[in-house]
Amino acid sequence: MTIKNLYLPTAITGVPAQKLRVSFELYPPRNPDPASQAWAGIDRLLDARPDYVSVTFGTSGMTSTSSQSVLVHAMKRSGRPALAHLTCVGRNQSQLAGLVRDMMDLGVRDFLALRGDPPKGVAHWEPETGEFSRAFQLVGLIREVAADYLGDPQAVSISVAAYPAGTVQTRTDAVAALVEKQAAGADFAITQVFYEAKDYADLVHSASYQGVTMPIVPGIIPFTDVSRLNRLEGLTGVPVPKRLREIGEIPDPAERILESLGATLDFVNDLIAVGAPGIHFYTFNRPRPVLDLVEHLRSRGFSHVDKADSSDLLGLMSAAMHRFSP
């Protein structure tokens, strides 16, 4: 089974759908030692039994080998699908096709096709001859490789990025890109960072109006580390809301954690209310915040609850939690 099937209606699959699919993004550790703290954190996340995990690709000095080792480990330990990130920048079509085949040899059947960030210090990046400049081109290449290497272009599922935050113009551009990616063969999308459920709902509505039918899954970062959110603001340009900055300034650590978990759960609740098919957690390989959030979601059956019930459940969970952060 590929990941795209998780988001199909019961009428098509014949399998009852969980109300909310939960997935995690993992990062290849810099330390290759399987006994390291980073690998222990990955194992704790895998043992929480998400519906699937995604694994980032070749960032911050990491190589494709690092990503592949996490992909193989994740599939073996969890028995569930793993989504392999692939980026266009810095590789020609032949190299990308080779990477796709390598991933397929490992058993990977799910890909996230991304353009990738331009090289640092390059103000006006242009692709070299034979390189792609858009993610939809990579989507088409993955389909071609699947047809040639596996005998069926539909033997794999392909996801792409979506961008809910920004101005009216950036949303217009984001929707146009989704239309392009779907036409090239994308099956579903996962969003980049945003903080307002309305932005997600508006993106889904605008995309639907333009003929986008593939599921759009919100990707969120737990609000427990405001310093990380601030760093991401510098990278993405998406501002951190004032209410989250204020939570980050609460002096008592226990109160700060509880308030930040509550704010994250309110956000998830709003996303469920507007019809999100799942939640994709950007974990940064830090298990505890994500595991706490997933425990809360499981305690309520992965469904929408009102704010008072959510707060009561969080209070009970806080009293019962005795995990130690790795």
Using CA atoms of 241, 23, 192, 268 in order, give the dihedral in degrees to the nearest 10.
-30
Judged by average pLDDT, the poorest of 161-175, 233-247, 269-283, 305-319 is 305-319
Q: Which residue has the higher pLDDT, 8 or 264?
A: 264
Provide the pLDDT for residue 193. 93
What domains sit in the chain, N to C, each tagged with a CATH number? 16-241+268-286 (3.20.20.220)
Residue 91: CB atoms within 10 Å: 22
- The position carrying tokens 């809910």 is 164
Model confidence, pTM: 0.90
pLDDT surpasses 60 at 324: no
- In the DSSP assignment, the letter for residue 239 is P
Provide the pLDDT for residue 64. 75
pLDDT surpasses 60 at 16: no
Q: Where are the beta strands (DSSP E) in the chain?
A: 21-26, 52-55, 82-87, 110-114, 157-162, 188-191, 216-217, 219-220, 278-282
Q: At what angle do helices 37-47 and 64-78 cross, to 10 degrees?
A: 40
Provide the pLDDT for residue 37. 86
Judged by average pLDDT, the poorest of 32-36, 259-263, 301-305 is 301-305
8 Å CB contact between 290 and 222: yes
Provide the pLDDT for residue 32. 72
Please provide the DSSP assignment of 258-285 as one string.
HHHHHHHHHHHHHHHHTT-SEEEEE-TT
CA 143, 281, 64 angle in degrees (round to 5)?
50
Cα separation, 156 vs 229, in Å, equals 33
Work out the average pLDDT over 261-290: 93
Cα separation, 171 vs 40, in Å, equals 39
Instruction: Tell me the Ramachandran region of residue 94: left when phi exceeds 0, alpha when psi lies from -120 to 50, beta otherwise.
Output: alpha
Using CA atoms of 209, 8, 143, 98 in order, give the dihedral in degrees to the nearest 10.
120
Cβ neighbours of residue 71 closer than 8 Å, sequence gap 6 or more: 55, 82, 84, 103, 106, 108
8 Å CB contact between 188 and 233: no
Residue 167: CB atoms within 10 Å: 8
Provide the pLDDT for residue 36. 80
Work out the average pLDDT over 114-135: 76
Residue 234: strand, helix, or coil: helix
Provide the pLDDT for residue 307. 65
Work out the average pLDDT over 104-124: 84
pLDDT surpasses 80 at 105: yes
* pLDDT band at residue 53 under the 50/70/90 scheme: very high
Report which listed range, 51-65, 79-93, 146-160, is most confident.
146-160
